[in-house]
A = this chain, B = another copy of it.
Amino acid sequence: MDQYPSKLIEDAVNAMSSLPGVGKRTALRLVLNLLKREPGEVENFATAFTRMRNEIKYCTQCHNIADVDLCAVCADTRRDTTVICVVENLRDVMAIENTLTYRGVYHLLGGIISPMDGIGPADLNIDSLVSRVGTGHVNEVILALSATMEGDTTNFYIFKKLSGIDVKITTIARGVPVGDELEYTDEVTLGRSIANRIMYENNLAR
């Protein structure tokens, strides 16, 4: 007996386990769950992905995912378009939107510079960021990338690219997470949070 009793099951398991973090065992469990559903329901399941891939649009301004030409943030006239927050992808936008504290707009790079994965500056939406900032309507660019080597590299690349333009470039604060105990914070984070200490009044104001 082969590992799978049916080529159809095997194909479905291979498709499912092509998703990141889904192993063959989990894939089989998920596939057998689909098998128990009505054919129409499985059709809807599958169509959701093909429709998304074929019909998705990207915001012409910030490269966020959108159903129309401008994403909901860029189309919102109450947002402050003089502040651009540079993020990696949609998940970061959603995380920042959930904080309900940011009123500026975004620019999605679509990734970060990662030579290991073969992703260079040309693969990212950096040129369009430079021309957006170059219009002169932008006062501040907030770099909000992951606190990793790749994130730092990308930050520095963008910083260099924008160096000729008169714009304030900031980066999100690194420090001890709210609610965390000091003794469990790693040394680098703790060291940075001391070096970049802020006025106590500023903290109270939040």
Contacts and interface: CB of A to CB of B under 8 A. Distances in A.
Interface of A: 1-9, 11-12, 14-16, 18-22, 26, 28-35, 37, 39, 42-57, 64-67, 71-73, 76, 89-91, 93-94, 97
Contact of A97 (B1, B16, B43, B55): B1
The complex is assembled from copies of this chain, and their number is 2
A11 B48 contact: yes
Given A6-B67, A64-B5, A66-B5, A49 B73 contact: no
B8 A67 contact: yes
A51 to B, nearest CB: 6
Contact of A65 (B5, B15, B73): B5
A5 B71 contact: yes
A6 B49 contact: no
A67 to B, nearest CB: 5
Q: Provide the main secondary structure of the chain A interface.
A: helix
A2 to B, nearest CB: 7
Contact of A44 (B15, B31, B37, B39): B15
B34 A49 contact: yes
B3 A94 contact: yes
B72 A52 contact: no
Contact of A42 (B22, B42, B53): B53
Contacts of A21: 26, 29
Given A2-B72, A94-B3, A34 B52 contact: yes
